[in-house]
Every structure is written in C-alpha cells, then in structure tokens.
Amino acid sequence: MVEDKKSMKMDVETECALEQEDIKSGKRSGDYILEIRGISKSFPGVHALSNVSLQLKRGEVLALVGENGAGKSTMMKILAGVYTLDAGDILIDGESVIIGSVERATNLGIALVHQELNLCDNLTVAGNVFLGREPKKGLFNKFVDTERLNNDTAEVLKKVGLSVSPSAILRELPIGTQQLVEISKALSINAKIVMFDEPTSSLSEHETEQLFKVIRDLSKQGVSCIYISHRLGEVKEVADRVVVLRDGKLSGCLEKHEINRDAMIRLMVGRDIEKMYQKNHTVSDKVRVELKDFIVPKRASYPIDLTIKGGEIVVLSGLVGAGRTELLHAIFGIDKRWGGKIFIDGSEMHINTPAEAIKAGMVLVPEDRKLNGLVVNMEIDNNIALPGLKDHLSKNGFINRDKVDELADRMVKLLDIRLYMTSQLAESLSGGNQQKVVLAKWLSMDPVFLLLDEPTRGIDVGAKAEIYKLLEDLAQTGVAILVASSEMQEVLGIADKIVVMCEGRVTGELDPLTCEEEDVIKLATESAVC
C-alpha cells in the first residue's frame, strides 16, 4: 500500500517534470490560453516562486493548491499585474506578453478575485463593480451615467445570484455579500481568464454552489478559470485539473481522475495527515459562562440564553448573516448589548467595552483580520504583543523587549507561522499566516473564555489540524470556548455542542454525536421558524 502510494507519487512527479521541461523548451503549446514558463519571484528573504511552469487550456477550471505561503497568491498577482516577475515568460494565446500593470492585465482579459477584499467600503456596490470604468454621459462625457451604471451592475449581480441593490453602500453589507461583489467586479470585465483566490472563504454553502454554477457557465463559454482554495472538497467538485505548489516550487499535477483529498495533501505537505479532529478533552460539569436573556443590538425580539461549561467547545452554526458575528461582538462589548446579563464562573460581568471584556478574561479572534485583527503595516512581533503591552509585557511604562521577543518566538513556533523574521511587517505574510498571527495575538492572553469567529478561514489543512489540536489543548485546561464556523466538517468535528442560528435567533441546540449535517442545515434554514 505504502509502496503503491510512493510509486503513484513518483509517476505524478515524473509526468510533471517532463511536462515542465516541454513547456520550458517550447515543445508544448497548442490550444492554451495561458502558458507560464519558468517564472520566479523573490521578496526580501524569501523565494516566493522558483522556476514554475504551467499551462491553462481554454474553458478549463484549473485548481491551484498548496500550504499557506506556497506562492499561490503571488502567482495570481503576477498574472493580474500587481507584481512584476523576476524571471520567466508568460504567453497569452501563444504570444509572449509583459503584464506589468493591473490595467494591462484587464486589457488582456485577465481578472482576479483577490484573497483579501479589495473594495472601497464607502462606495456603492455599483461604484465598486465599475470603479474607474463607470459609463459616462453629458458634455465631454464628464458625468457618471448613474442609471446605466446601476443597470449594468444589476446584470452582473444577477450572474452571481446576488439580490442586493446596486446603490447599497458596501460597508453596510455582510462580508459574504461583499465577497460576491468582489466576484461580480471580476466578471464585469468579460475576461478570458478569471482567477479566484479563495473566493468561498466567507460564502455560505448556498452562495458557494451559486459560484460553482457561475464557474461552470464561464467554462462552457470558453472562459478559463484558476481556482485557489484550501477546501479540498470544493477543489474536487469544481476542478478539471489540479496543480500543487510547495515552497514556491511545482510539487505535482493531478488530472481529473487522479483528484482526491489524500493525493492533494500528500503533494502539498509531503505526508499524510493522521487525524484532523480528535476529541480527548473532558467537559466539566460546572458552567463557566452563562448568557441570560442576552439581547444583541437590533434583535430585541430574540433574547438568547446560552451556557458554556469549563472545557466545552460550543460551535455557533448558521448561514452567512445568521447573526453569529453580531452575537460575538455584543458579548465582547464591541457593540453594546441591548439587554441581559453575562456571568463568568458565577459572577456577573459588566461588559460594555472590549477592554472590560479582556479584563474579565475574554478574548475574541475576529473574522475580518484586516479590519479588526491585525495592524498590517506593523511588525509581526509587535502585533502579537499588542494586547499584552499595557499589562504583562511592560514595566513602569516601558515595554519589556525581551518578554515581547520571547512571546513572539513562542507563538510563532506554537502555530508554525512561516516567516523570515518576526520583525517583518505583517502585510508581507501570506493570507493564512496572517490569520495565524491574529490567533497568536489573542491566544497569548491566556483567556478563560475564548471567542473565535471563523478561526480557520484561509488556513491550510496541516495548519488547520494544528489549530484544532490547540483548541483541544485549551479545552483540556478548562477554558470555555465559543466558535462561529461556517464549515460543516469543522462544526461537526470540533463541537461538544452545536448552537444553530438563523436571522439573529437561536433556532436550536444539537449534540454532534447524534445529529447529522442535515439537522444543522434544517435549523439554519427553516424559514418558517426564522
């Protein structure tokens, strides 16, 4: 069996190496919309891509997978004109091209749906979708033709199944909807190549299905797609072919019939992952956290009662917009609750601000790392130290640098954050590694009540297993844990208790040992109840 796996891997590797040689020497070309020949790109201290070649057929859906920091986004950004390459060639329709700018990429028909939302949140949906390309009217075409802008936008929104007004202000929309606006923006240029960098990380299952339909339609029309995701189930569902990157190099290719989870993981991390979820912790009999008649702002009709025992992992499940983030924000004092009480270890806590929440022993690992979690233009070590600076990391008003360094090193090791040095800026890390810095920052506070909002969003399989293990260890020490998660496997895999929400209301509690996926979905969608 082991031999079989080894020889299969060798075959794939040899095939890939031969293909690489052929591409580089120009022997293979033909009906490819895109060919990448031996491209390399370095940043200070890291070879993000080393001599990578690949081809994309017309109408093909090619998935690009790899661990956090493997170089996937870098490759997409080169194709989208955000970064220039250090070496190598890019051919579009058999012609060698120099991309160099986002405008040039757009003219070549290349569109990128960015991993991190790349929108202006003070503009309308339509303003975002056609930013810089607004239809004009009037003398010398000086004025934006708002009517046409809104109509054109409504057409594109229809394609992704989004029923939001083109004149809605972006920041007032939930993050999943914003993600769909980002996708609409890419579709609006009628591209030949559309690249999706983790497009589903904040989409609900239904929205994800809608996106797959869009991708299949694009493919039928001959548009080629490159699809990046850490959700390997999705990759299997949508991809015609998979290319795996590892440490900036091509690690293997899988044809449609070879695509399966284990094969992808092996090429990604070079080993099998033993067990994703392991429940070894014991839940205490004592309630550690209790919410009584808790009212989230604007949800006055739905008071929430919730208990979390010591060492218990309670998972909030629901569709995008179910009100999970709102609940976490109200508990943590980001938004002032409208009523009700919070008890920790039997004592009532008066929490009206995050500072008071932290004082009471809570921490919140937020969903939107750029907005709430990370100071991107600050060093990694200082980001990690931020919550403890006023407290245990300083003395007499001075920061204890040794303690900060020791903490940063410990957390980097614990979460296996892939970096060059802890003093580099957080924005220079790959998306998943940025997420790990956010986790490190809050876990360093040793909380008694840990709140996490989509903690593994954008995290690769290996690191996911590590994070689950970490939650497991924290639960073992008696911490009460409340996690909002949209990934069904994760919900069922880590929860001691599942609390399902729909439109701001708790619709039921389930025991993961006895419930099925359908039970969760039913409670999350029961419109009669909501």
| Residue 118 near ligand ATP by CB under 6 A | no
* CA 166 centroid distance within chain: 25
| Residue 200 near Mg ion by CB under 5 A | no
- Residue among 252, 431, 447, 504 that touches Mg ion (CB under 5 A): 431
For the packed helices 461-476 and 401-415, what is the interaxial angle rounded to 10 degrees?
A: 120
Closest residue to Mg ion: CB criterion: 73
Cβ nearer to Mg ion, comparing 230 with 505? 230
| Residue 241 near ligand ATP by CB under 6 A | no
- Contact region for Mg ion (CB under 5 A) — 25-33, 51-59, 109-117, 214-222? 109-117
41-70 positions binding ligand ATP, by CB under 6 A: 43, 46, 48, 66, 68-70
482-521 positions binding ligand ATP, by CB under 6 A: none
In this structure, are residues 51 and 39 in contact, taking their beta carbons and an 8 Å threshold? yes
* CA 256 centroid distance within chain: 25
Tokens describing residue 448: 């008694």
How far is 508 from 500, CA to CA, in rounded Å? Answer: 5
Closest distance to ligand ATP from the beta carbon of 226 (Å): 12
Nearest to 251 by CA among 233, 269, 239: 269
Q: Is 76 helix (H, G, I), strand (E, B) or coil?
A: helix
Closest distance to Mg ion from the beta carbon of 270 (Å): 19
Cβ nearer to Mg ion, comparing 69 with 333? 69
Cβ nearer to ligand ATP, comparing 388 with 458? 458
Sign of the CA dihedral 473, 479, 480, 483?
Answer: negative
- Residue among 199, 311, 432, 504 that touches ligand ATP (CB under 6 A): 432
Beta bridge partners of residue 345, listed in sequence order: none
How far is 42 from 31, CA to CA, in rounded Å? Answer: 30
Cβ nearer to Mg ion, comparing 73 with 200? 73
| Residue 428 near ligand ATP by CB under 6 A | yes
- Residue among 73, 184, 204, 251 that touches ligand ATP (CB under 6 A): 73
| Residue 433 near ligand ATP by CB under 6 A | yes
Alpha helix (H) residue ranges in 160-286: 175-187, 205-220, 232-238, 261-269
| Residue 115 near ligand ATP by CB under 6 A | yes
User: In a 10 Å sphere around its CB, with 0-12 CB exposed, 13-18 middle and 19+ buried, how is residue 527 labelled?
Assistant: exposed
Cβ nearer to ligand ATP, comparing 431 with 504? 431
Per the listing, tokens 């989870």 go with 261
Cβ nearer to ligand ATP, comparing 311 with 431? 431
- Residue among 20, 50, 55, 73 that touches Mg ion (CB under 5 A): 73
# of chain residues touching ligand ATP (CB under 6 A): 20
Output DSSP code: residue 55. E
| Residue 201 near ligand ATP by CB under 6 A | no
CB atoms within 10 A of CB 284: 14
User: What pairing do the DSSP bridges indicate for beta strands 224-228 and 398-399?
Assistant: unpaired
Q: Which does 124 bind (CB under 5 to 8 A by kind): Mg ion, ligand ATP, none?
A: none
Helix (H) or strand (E) holding 385: helix 380-385
Q: What residue ranges bind ligand ATP (CB under 6 A)?
A: 43, 46, 48, 66, 68-74, 115, 418, 428-433, 460
Q: Which residues bind Mg ion (CB under 5 A)?
A: 73, 115, 431
